[in-house]
Chain A
Amino acid sequence: MKRARLWSYMGWQARDFAFERGAPLLIVATLMAFPVIMELRKIRPAISTTGQAHSLVVSGILEVLSQFSFIAVLIGINGIVSNDRVRGYYRFLFAKPVSIPRYYAQAFVVNGAGLAFSALTVMVAIYAFGYPVFLPRALLMVALAYVSLGGLGFLFSTVARFDWVLMGGTWGLAQVLRAVYPAPQSRAGRVLDVILPPYHRLRDVSLELAGGDPTDTRTIAWLLGWGVTAFILGLIILRRRPLAT
């Protein structure tokens, strides 16, 4: 019996992440961070001594990081499985003694680490060039977004060619249904509230988490549960469903 050296292969997966997703992440990071940094540089002398202004600046930075983490997750997870299937790369990779679910589970972890690194880079850039505040708790926000949203993206990537369309469609449909059937008012709304992905709560909870405020642990568990469940379902599908179509 000879098994693939997947642990050693992690370096190559990290390299793939950097080469394939690094450029779009860099562009998004620059587009989002650059105006913030320029604005912070302008107002920094005036606000550095004022407590309330400082809090406002921190909230603003967290808001930007929250938006960045959301977009970064979409970039980081898109096509994680489906690209290999559509392009036929799987034919060579999995003729080797490789466990397909393990291979992609590892890719999920590597991409998550890559996203954390990119968020850290944005934070360091803001700290160094914009405003001297470093917010390591913002990494928790990225992790929460990655596990909850990324888990669903992973599941979609195992079953569909255009996983980003499904991702966007699910998000949009959930928003519409929640608006049409508000949870407390109708019975349908209460049922839908449990069934639909709870991403409408992601932003608020993320900001609470990153800001060090008291957090709604039940909602965090709900978000993480959705992501982890979807991720595990994706692994089961990879184990049971053949890769060719």
Chain B
Amino acid sequence: MDELRSARAGADAASSGVIAFDSVSKTYRSLFRPPVRAVEEFTLSIGRGEIMGLAGPNGAGKSTLISLLLGYLPPTSGRVTIDETSPRPYIERNGIGYLSELVTLNPQWTLEGALERLALLAGIAHPLASQRVEAVIDELGIGEHRQKKLKALSKGNLQRLGLAQALLRDEAILILDEPTHGLDPVWTQRFRDLVQSLRTPTRTMLIASHNLDELERLCDRVAIIDRGRLQRVVDTRRPVATDVASLYHLTVTVGAEHVPAIFPGARSLGQGQFEIEPGDAAVLNRRLADLLARGSLITALIPAHSRLEAQFREAVRSAGGNA
């Protein structure tokens, strides 16, 4: 029911969204190989000012969806629109900020040269283009590499260049495909701060990532896709007070011997840590109270999976079951 409700919510929003996938399917055909159905009957709408996440296992169809959204691939059936226009006409008129999973630019270009070129293509006039290039170089901390050829840049620096070029202009739409891929923890955090600073009521963002924790932190909703189908849309801004995770990691430093008696089925992970399956919230609280009453000292109680991760696992599992 949850799945149905989520999918229906997405379909309802389709009419008012800036980005809309309407029953989109994509089948790759080849002369010598059987056809591959990459996306099937995909319907999703992303509203103005919304940050939408796109999650799915490898080969789920995320990259195909992004190529459809950029107009680099035509849908086999259905319709993709940006601001009620087909993708290519929209992009040719307005442009979008886009970072692909792999930064595919000519390896012979220098970092600064690449940004200057892309600034011109972004429609920024000459004196302003140089200022914008300087600004994004500064913002992404890649000044020391400006004269290096792209082939000499590390994966992380290439990724920062990719982000820099996506931010050259104040775009209304940003599409970021695995944006923190290759970034170190410091820059991953800076990227998250950057995304938060880019949030405005008029800017729409789509972030595809394998990192569910990242999507949960950054996005308003996350679409989970598997085997080319939309499995569910998780509202990550929904209040979580009533939610109970299915599995917790419980750490007890004193009186750990009481845990198996109070939580039947608890699995010891060693050093006073247990994996417990609490049932509902009332049961969890009653059992924790019992544990405390027996003199145990609880130092940590952490959901084994984030809410999104739990939904993701369930969605992918049920998609596998339906396949």
Name A's B-contacting residues (CB within 8 A).
1-6, 8-9, 12, 16, 19-20, 87-100, 242-244
Contacts and interface: CB of A to CB of B under 8 A. Distances in A.
A92 B102 contact: no
Contact of A3 (B71, B117, B123, B126): B123
Contacts of B162: 92
B269 interface: no
Nearest to A20: B108
A97 B105 contact: no
Interface residues of B, number: 37
B98 A97 contact: no
Contact of A9 (B72, B96, B120): B120
Interface of B: 67, 70-74, 91-98, 100, 102-106, 108, 113, 116-118, 120-126, 129, 162, 165, 169, 175
Nearest to A102: B92
B57 to A, nearest CB: 21
Given A2-B169, A3-B123, A5-B120, A98 B92 contact: yes
9 contacts: A16-B106, A87-B104, A92-B100, A92-B165, A95-B96, A97-B94, A97-B95, A98-B121, A100-B92
Contacts of B67: 244
Nearest to B100: A91
A97 B104 contact: no
A21 to B, nearest CB: 12
A19 B117 CA distance: 16
A2 B165 contact: no
B120 A12 contact: yes
A2 B162 CA distance: 21
Given A1-B94, A2-B123, 5 more contacts: A91-B70, A92-B105, A95-B70, A95-B175, A100-B92
B165 A97 contact: no
Given A2-B122, A5-B121, A19-B108, A97 B71 contact: no
B120 A4 contact: yes
A96 B94 CA distance: 8
Given A91-B98, A95-B95, A4 B121 contact: yes
Contacts of B125: 5
Nearest to B106: A89
A94 B93 contact: no
Contacts of A100: 92
A190 to B, nearest CB: 34
A5 B71 CA distance: 21
A159 to B, nearest CB: 15
